[in-house]
Structure 1
């Protein structure tokens, strides 16, 4: 007897399960999440963040492994302004202040619209709630067992996604709502800078919500230089639709990036 039958839950196909989780992600208005993995150009990193969609805002603490405590950054996006502080900021450039600000800055939009002034890796500029839906367009989905993630029972699915597949899904969309979702998915894929195929794992809880996903693939160099390196990121959803408030630092403790000699002191 299957796990689903034992628990009195209807058996669903991997495609249906992943599609349901993608649909439920549309209701995410705020999110607290954790990121671990390796990003080209930054190496191993860890981050924890909270975001809201209305208004669009985000707060993140990120540490790069090779720099340890000296590589910690705190980044906030509020009202299309980015604020950056932390031990990785060269404090001698801040004229006694703890933060610098840069604008216009944008996080969580499409690949073209996002702008963190080089502080965040491009792969961390996307909205994880939308990134989690990419597997819905996989043509080789399969179930990969059950696992417990942060005390939550989940079903693990795996598949691959390509840019050409996402473009085909966008072009084949039967209605405006579906087309909008496909455009957002394609934008998030482009922002990942994956060269060819993205391998994706998705862990879905018993309430049909995403608990965790992992993205792996070789990236390309947008400047046309050397061959890209491997992307490997795991994003875990810690709290969903809980109150999130992101506030700008006090203006008296903030320096404008345009007034700093030598440009940005971090990133």
Structure 2
């Protein structure tokens, strides 16, 4: 599974993503304005309202499950997580399977500490602020920046870039909540144009994700959004025709509710918080090679 060559490496790159994933949201107002401009299309206006609300969420829990092409072989992804913008906390558990190879990892982060676990007995702990150092961040990511800096709430905005969003007839239930299902298709060029005018960090995250779609051979995405009667996004699905399957579904729950941050048991934690950035980078590199 080349995308996660070692458990510790995968944990390190995932944790570094957490320091940036919620730092800067796209301009939700711009999306809402586009929806208003398309008021002749009620589906487009409804999608714009839902996307704008999703991108203003302060906290939520989610699951993300499905299949991605990976670097060399198709991968099955099973992720559950919760995040908060203020206070900044995030907790995610991920299982990635490629053929007979399966790796499970969990990471927890607040504004001061990040904890990483890779399926064994021990966790790694280091200062979240260490990842503000660009060189250390690159070392911790092991060159995988383009693959992991993603925010599920931001990705709901992809359907707002489509020119043909439509409402699927009837209602559907997601997590016990009645929703309206919207569907549409967006080309990668449309997704790129939709990033114009957004904050720089959001543009970079969006372009990195689009670049992944390009590498996988996708030219357009089939996008589905499920919205409740409060304009709250409940589910989002991304599909594409590629050499290997791309089909990911994200379900959102616990909108704007407190996000717990339980620290691991102290006896299970290897504390790296006293290391300098250079020492931490060297330690992570050695862990990857071991």
Q: Which structure has more strand as a fraction of its residues?
A: 1
Q: Is the 8 A contact 2:138 2:145 kept in 1?
A: no
Aligned residues: 227
Please state whether the residue corresponding to 2:57 is helix, strand or coil: coil
1:138 aligned to which of 145, 157, 162: 162
Deviations 1:170-209 (CA, angstroms, capped at 9, x unpaired): 55xxxxxxx2279836733532511231221111111111
Q: Which residue of 1 aligns with 2:105?
A: 73
Change (3 A) 1:152 1:33: same
Q: Which residue of 2 aligns with 1:57?
A: 89
Distance (Å, rounded) in 2 between the aligned partners of 1:232 and 1:121: 21
Q: Which residue of 2 aligns with 1:7?
A: none
Q: Is the 8 A contact 1:169 1:182 kept in 2?
A: no
Q: Which residue of 1 aligns with 2:233?
A: 210
Distance (Å, rounded) in 2 between the aligned partners of 1:70 and 1:99: 19
Q: Which residue of 2 aligns with 1:161?
A: 186
Distance (Å, rounded) in 2 between the aligned partners of 1:30 and 1:159: 27
Give the unaligned 5+ runs of structure 2: 1-39, 273-279
Q: Which residue of 2 aligns with 1:35?
A: 64
Q: Which residue of 1 aligns with 2:151?
A: 127
Q: Which residue of 2 aligns with 1:188?
A: 206
Please state whether the residue corresponding to 1:18 is helix, strand or coil: helix
Normalised to the residue count of structure 2, the TM-score between the two structures is 0.64
Please state whether the residue corresponding to 1:133 is helix, strand or coil: helix
Distance (Å, rounded) in 2 between the aligned partners of 1:197 and 1:81: 39
Distance (Å, rounded) in 1 between the aligned partners of 2:67 and 2:97: 10
Deviation at 1:265, TM superposition (A): 7.6
2:124 aligned to which of 68, 84, 100: 100
Change (3 A) 1:68 1:101: farther
Q: Is the 8 A contact 2:139 2:285 kept in 1?
A: no
Deviations 1:95-142 (CA, angstroms, capped at 9, x unpaired): xxx112466448xxxxxx999625989555311111112211111211
Deviation at 1:246, TM superposition (A): 3.0
Change (3 A) 1:119 1:55: farther
Distance (Å, rounded) in 2 between the aligned partners of 1:100 and 1:59: 14
Deviation at 1:154, TM superposition (A): 0.9
Q: Which structure has more helix as a fraction of its residues?
A: 2
Q: Is the 8 A contact 1:36 1:235 kept in 2?
A: yes
Deviation at 1:214, TM superposition (A): 0.6
Distance (Å, rounded) in 2 between the aligned partners of 1:190 and 1:261: 24
Distance (Å, rounded) in 1 between the aligned partners of 2:223 and 2:208: 15
Deviations 1:50-81 (CA, angstroms, capped at 9, x unpaired): 00112433211112345899632111233376
Q: Is the 8 A contact 2:221 2:238 kept in 1?
A: yes
Q: Which residue of 1 aligns with 2:177?
A: 152
Normalised to the residue count of structure 1, the TM-score between the two structures is 0.69
